[in-house]
Amino acid sequence: MQLSVDFSMLGAKLEHLIGDRACDSDQLDAELKHDGVNMIAPHRSKRKLKPRMVGICGGINTAGSASASLPGSSGSAAYSFVGSITPPMRYEHGDVRLAIEGDHGMLSEPGKETFTCRNDRRQAIWEHAKLDGVDFRGIGNEPPWVLELREMSRIVLITEYGANRIERSLPQPVNDKTSKMTRWDAGDLQIEITAELCHDTMSGESFDSRVVIHWQRQVLRGCGRPLH
């Protein structure tokens, strides 16, 4: 439908306009909002409402951690949560609450609109690491491992799904500008990160960097990306 209103003919400033189901239109709502008018109309019975999908959320691990990343017009907001680890998963970050069930989550804050987010555990793991102070994160397979360079002061290497955890102080890097490789030598642990396209051998996901780790006579190969 098309609606035409001459607001200059009204004696007072119009703030709200009440209509029937025929006025239920996103385009009409946007046009009226441009003139400072809020349309109030019941939704048509067959209309499918689109939820406000604002970002990525997901439960992280058995310790009850979760993360939500919410891009917006003024930048992005990110939250790290703690809470329940059994469905339905519910988390809190101050007054902000996150509930995850199935493929979606709901993010709520007192006095603000409730948003929905897509439950993507893989992406949420990376967002959570960023919030936790990880500057670079790398992953590899066969055997499975995770590398974290934290606050540019510590190396954390986790292998075999958490069975082994190695922590070392991060030494000064050695940079090779020709090969675009940066190397850290922490004694029994050496790390080489090369700025080149890398694909995960299991998922095929693309990364910015190739990672090689020398530890206990093993050579661990994988991919990674900077988080800050």
**Among the listed residues 111, 112, 63, 54, the one whose alpha carbon sits nearest the alpha carbon of residue 89:** 63
Q: Parse the chain into domains and list their residue ranges.
A: 7-40, 53-121, 133-226
pTM of the entire predicted model: 0.60
> What span, in angstroms and rounded, lies between the C-alpha atoms of 44 and 214?
63
| Mean pLDDT in order along the chain per 10 residues (228 residues) | 46 53 56 60 48 53 57 49 57 77 77 74 79 92 94 93 92 93 96 97 94 95 94
Is 196 within 8 Å of 104 (Cβ atoms)?
no
> What span, in angstroms and rounded, lies between the C-alpha atoms of 87 and 103?
12
Burial of residue 171 (number of CB atoms within 10 Å: 0-12, 13-18, 19+): middle
